[in-house]
Amino acid sequence: MARKARIESSDSVYHVINRGNYRSFIFKTQGAKVAFERTLFEACERAGWELLAYCIVSNHFHLCLGTPRGNLSEGMRWLQATFANRFNRYRKESGHLFQGRFKSLVVESGQPLLTLVNYIHLNPLRAGLETAERIGSYAWSSLCRFPKRKSRPAFADVSWMDYLGDVSDTNGGWTRYRNRLRLRTADNRKEIEELEKSMNRGWCIGTMAFKKALAAELKQPNGVMRLEHEQLKELNEQRWELYLAKALKALKKSEADATDAKRSDPWKLAIASKMKRETSVSNKWLSERLHMGVARGVSSNCAIYRKQREAHCPYSKRLNNFTFAY
């Protein structure tokens, strides 16, 4: 099977996650946590990474990384392989230590980045490893390590504190930050589940505008497309939304018009046919966004349209001179 691809660039920040194989407790002992933290710090030095936040719990880790050299995959391969070799050699074991390749999500600066850092720092609380009263006491987390400025590693990056407003990188500032986290701890299970989804699923943590801009950047010839295969759905849908918006504008139509018009209206078929030729858009997506009835009918209706009507359709002619390029 072909290797899955990722998004990588020299100016991105990522949320990186991985778990023990079969969700095993690879970091159950203090020695394993010490070893992984040490290997992580080595990786940061070797790869030139900026470490904004991290947390190591019993069966998984969370990292927030900046990669000025655009070498996320290379550095993560070294980190995971080196730790696995050390772990197996010490335990006199063999086999895969992690459940597979790591997962990475691109992170937007500003509030989305701050939300992620908060999420990582609250991970020990969610896992029952510390109480709200003792937030920041869990040793294997940047919330415990980074406030100690004299012993903080040189690659530690606490620039996210700028988004806190009146909180700075001082003893008092870290105390205020911990107090804010304590106040933000919630017993609302639904809220916690939604936060889990937004921080761990998809391909990007950020606003819709950021996702669209990033999707447009990746479409350019010099864009580096290295996206996990299972995360392509959200990126593709961002592109399709941009395509549809431009097509509607070219035909002087709106989404409201799509709701009111017949499912086989020529202008709908003109857009659907062009998108199906020039993008990977799905019938299901087209049927829902253009109100074209059941998904399986989109292909047949477009085929009939192309064969019988497209050559003479004024909407098709208007779209012929229209490009879906960003």
Residue that wins the pLDDT comparison between 18 and 21: 18
pLDDT-based confidence at 191, cuts 50/70/90? low
The average confidence (pLDDT) of the chain is: 81
In the chain, what percentage of residues exceed pLDDT 90?
29
Please list the residues that pair with 65 across neighbouring strands.
14, 51
On whether the CB atoms of residues 124 and 182 are closer than 8 A, the answer is no
Would you say residue 326 has pLDDT above 50? no
Cα–Cα dist 248/114, whole Å = 36
Mean pLDDT calculated for residue range 23-33: 79
Longest Cα separation, the chain: 75
- At 132 the pLDDT is 85
Cα–Cα dist 144/140, whole Å = 7
Per-residue pLDDT tens for 41-74?
A: 999 999 999 999 999 998 889 999 998 888 888 8
For residue 195, give every residue at least 6 positions away whose Cβ sits within 8 Å of its Cβ, in sequence order, or none. Answer: 119
pLDDT-based confidence at 148, cuts 50/70/90? very high
- At 280 the pLDDT is 67
Angle value at C-alpha 31, between 26 and 34, nearest 5 degrees: 95
The tokens 């995360």 sit on which residue?
Answer: 231
Cα–Cα dist 97/76, whole Å = 14
pLDDT-based confidence at 214, cuts 50/70/90? low
Cα–Cα dist 301/310, whole Å = 12
pLDDT-based confidence at 224, cuts 50/70/90? very low
pLDDT-based confidence at 207, cuts 50/70/90? confident
